[in-house]
Amino acid sequence: MSEVIVFGAGGRIGRAVAGEALRRGCGVTAVVRNPDRHGDLGAGGVRLRAGDVTDADAVARLAAGHDTAIHAAYDAGSPPGVFFPAAARALLSGLTQAGVGRLLVVGLSALLETPDGVRLLDTPAFPPQYRPFALDHAAGAAVLHDSPASLDWLVVSPAGDFGPDAPRHGGYRLSPADPASRVSPEDFALALLDETGSPRHHRVRIGVAPQRP
């Protein structure tokens, strides 16, 4: 049985990922800052733990014995340019210490290329108010890109955005950046979990869109 640890399991994406991992028969550890606020996550055999994804020692301690780590955490109170690079550094260090060889990161469509080969972030229509958040993600991705090859990471991004009310198709497709795309958290979770047992992509970024009818 594969063992999966989900950092940021209290958010809508983290919850969908933990649920899909459990459905597939994986052992699941759900990490949140405050377990008292997410007691329902402990249902169905999920191990609910307190932890900070920017603390390398905590990552190492919590991740020991797992096969795959999934990073779906976000700190809205963190200053720009701090959280995602700090999390990437802590994960690289902590997971290496724990002997975890696979890291999946929930990314951002802004850093995907459009069909024209231009990052969505660099297109004229990209909203300037979202640029600092996108650059924070980019800084975290740069830490991964510059890391030694000992950790097999993959950044999985929605092609456009998540749609909490988007229909669940039970499948997905890979896609370049597409601002109009809305993928449900449940279908996005399928893409992440498909990259745990039989990884197809390594040390790159991929985009996920809803399955076409």
Distance CA 116, CA 100 (A): 36
pTM of the full predicted structure? 0.96
What is the chain's mean pLDDT, rounded? Answer: 95
User: 1 pLDDT exceeds 80?
Assistant: no
Query: Quick check: 103 and 69 in contact, CB under 8 A?
Result: yes
Torsion of CA 54, 195, 24, 160, to 10 degrees: 80
Please compute the mean of the pLDDT values over residues 146-159 and round it to a whole number: 93
Mean pLDDT on 27-47: 93
State the average pLDDT over residues 141-168: 93
Nearest to 26, CA basis, from 72, 71, 66 = 66
Residue 83's pLDDT band, with cuts at 50, 70 and 90, is very high
172-213: pLDDT as tens digits: 999 999 999 999 999 999 999 999 988 999 999 999 999 987
Assign domain 3-210 one CATH number from 3.40.50.150, 3.40.50.300, 3.40.50.720, 3.30.360.10: 3.40.50.720
| Average of per-residue pLDDT across 77-97 | 94
- What Cα–Cα distance (Å) separates residue 71 from each residue in 11, 15, 124, 139, 157? 11, 12, 30, 15, 12
